[in-house]
Amino acid sequence: MKKLLLFGVLLSACLGFFACEDVDDTPKDAMLRIKFKFNPNQERLNNLGQPSTVGFGNSAQTPIFNSISSHYLELAQDANTQLGQGAILYHAPETTLGGDNAIDFSQAKIVGEDEIFLEIPLKTVAVGNYDWMRVSLSYQNYQISVRNQGTDYTGTLASFVGFNTYIDNFSIGNNLFPIHGNKLQGFWAFALNDNPYTNYGQTAPGATTVPNPIASTSPIPPGSCVVTGKFANTLRITGNEKTDITITLSLSTNKSFEWHEVLNNGIYEPASGENVVDMGLRGLIPTYQR
């Protein structure tokens, strides 16, 4: 009899537990997610989206990427859609702390490969058919090889390729760079790994490669880093999506770090006066998966 009573108590407790448990049956919004891929084997392009070789008197290497950030993301309907007239998905915070308007690096979202950079409800994206993706890149962080006095080292380079960036201070490893001001496209800082050596500099205005295959019909402002790429298949947004869409932005890192040679040996030797001339990524291939 006692066993029966105990069983009844336990059964009542279980039933009460399930009866009181909340069940969230609210429909979830379908989401648009965007992430980056770094492809060292992707075709190397020039500003017009055409195959490109390393400039005369220069040499280049394919860096190993750690992370990246973007200032602006936009879907464009076709090759005639002007910058800003497509579906704007993201615009990073800006500031005038340094004088002119600039990207606020302190608020930049920095991600590695395959990490989600942006996640927004698909219902917030304008209905339409989109053939092109525009990505305004602002920051890159990667490993490069250097030689000094006959010894080869690996170091980390922080590359600021946005139109203008306000940088308070930032670090590479244990090395602090107090900038406290605006830096135009092409500013870079470098530190050897596990070594106190650091350096920084600025490439020439307009030297950063920004591939845009539709430059003749939809140009980008000088000094910006709006890389443009075409979907293999039109991305259709109906406004009634029930499943998520993930866009992957494959960026060509193929010999994207370029310098002017002094010793003509294909090895970056900054102590010999070899200067950085280009840090622009070399092409964009956007894909999507539902």
Is residue 243 within 8 A of residue 290, CB to CB? The reply is yes
Q: Residue 11: what pLDDT?
A: 44
Q: Residue 1: what pLDDT?
A: 45
Q: Residue 13: what pLDDT?
A: 46
Q: What pTM does this model have?
A: 0.89
Q: Residue 28: what pLDDT?
A: 87
Domain ranges of the chain: 29-289
Q: Residue 196: what pLDDT?
A: 86
Q: Residue 25: what pLDDT?
A: 61
Q: Residue 3: what pLDDT?
A: 45
pLDDT along the chain (290 residues), means of 10: 44 46 70 98 98 96 98 98 98 97 98 98 97 98 94 96 97 94 97 90 95 98 95 97 97 98 94 94 98
